[in-house]
């Protein structure tokens, strides 16, 4: 059996879930990520409900317009990712490479803006241990904000690295119309990161 045929077989739906193994594996991983981010968001909601005075109103500390723009960037990167997937589904190698590179660049831009945001916040004294918003002796606002956005930023950064790996694979001609599972599972991860940010942006920045 050749490498190409093995790759093709790996995309065939398996009995049981009706999807190929790599994809099922990614979904299982993403479901564990749902529980991970739920614990973070849940802890934030609980702490904020218990100590409302320890958290600032929307727009007082955090830069909402900048983050709204960054949210738009991440949504755009989801579109480019799905365009890359659509391109390879039609055997469009040039389109795959173009859209994957665009996605990776947009992801890097998102992380860059987040770093700038952190620097600006730190300059204004809003650090994880900031004494500005404390309750029960703990800097709840700073800790929860940096924990949630930091973990999300780490996920985006890992996603960007994986995207560049996918770009390299695309330039090596590893993906074809009939064998592009790597692009699909990369897309699943990337869209999940976008989905989590949609929730985080609302919970952390707007409420």
Partner 1 sequence: MQAHTPEHAMADPAADPSVPIPEKPVPKYMLVFLGLFVLTLIELGVAFVGLSRATTIIALVGLAIYKAILVALYYMHLRFEPTRLRVAVLAPLPLAFILVLAVLTEF
Minimum distance of partner 1 from residue 92's CB (angstroms): 13
How many CA atoms are closer than 13 Å to the CA of 118, on its beta-carbon side?
A: 15
Name the token pair of 4.
């190409």
Asked if 167 touches partner 1 (CB under 8 A), the answer is: no
Q: Are 188 and 30 in contact (CB under 8 A)?
A: yes
Minimum distance of partner 1 from residue 76's CB (angstroms): 8
Q: Are 142 and 126 in contact (CB under 8 A)?
A: yes
Among 22, 41, 101, 132, binds partner 1 (CB under 8 A): 41
DSSP string, 135-167: BTTB-HHHHHHHHHHHHHHHHHHHHHHHHHHHH
Place of tokens 């665009």: 102
Name the token pair of 80.
């480019």
Asked if 86 touches partner 1 (CB under 8 A), the answer is: yes
CA distance 8 to 176: 9
Minimum distance of partner 1 from residue 156's CB (angstroms): 15
Asked if 17 touches partner 1 (CB under 8 A), the answer is: yes
Among 66, 76, 111, 113, binds partner 1 (CB under 8 A): 76
Among 25, 29, 72, 120, binds partner 1 (CB under 8 A): 72
The residue ranges that bind partner 1 (CB under 8 A) are 9, 11-20, 24, 27, 31, 34-35, 38-39, 41-43, 45-46, 49-50, 58-59, 64, 68, 71-72, 75-76, 78-79, 81-83, 86, 89, 178, 187-188, 191-192, 194-195, 198-199, 201-203, 206-207
């Amino acid at each position: 059996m050749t490498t190409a045929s093995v790759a093709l077989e790996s995309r065939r739906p398996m009995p049981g879930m009706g999807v190929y193994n790599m994809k099922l594996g990614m979904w299982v991983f993403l479901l564990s990520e749902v529980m991970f981010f739920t614990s973070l968001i849940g802890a934030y909601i609980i702490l904020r409900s218990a100590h409302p005075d320890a958290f600032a109103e929307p727009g007082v500390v955090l830069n909402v317009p900048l983050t709204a723009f960054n949210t738009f960037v991440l949504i755009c990167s989801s579109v480019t990712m799905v365009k890359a997937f659509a391109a390879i589904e039609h055997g469009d190698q040039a389109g795959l490479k173009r859209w994957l590179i665009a996605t990776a660049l947009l992801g890097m831009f998102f992380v860059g803006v987040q770093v700038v945001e952190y620097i600006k916040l730190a300059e204004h004294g809003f650090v994880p241990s900031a004494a500005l918003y404390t309750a029960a002796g703990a800097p709840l606002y700073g800790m929860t904000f940096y924990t949630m956005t930091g973990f999300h930023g780490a996920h985006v950064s890992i996603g960007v690295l994986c995207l560049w790996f996918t770009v390299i694979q695309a330039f090596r001609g590893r993906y074809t119309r009939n064998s592009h599972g790597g692009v699909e599972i990369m897309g699943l991860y990337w869209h999940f990161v976008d989905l989590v940010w949609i929730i985080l942006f609302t919970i952390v920045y707007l409420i």
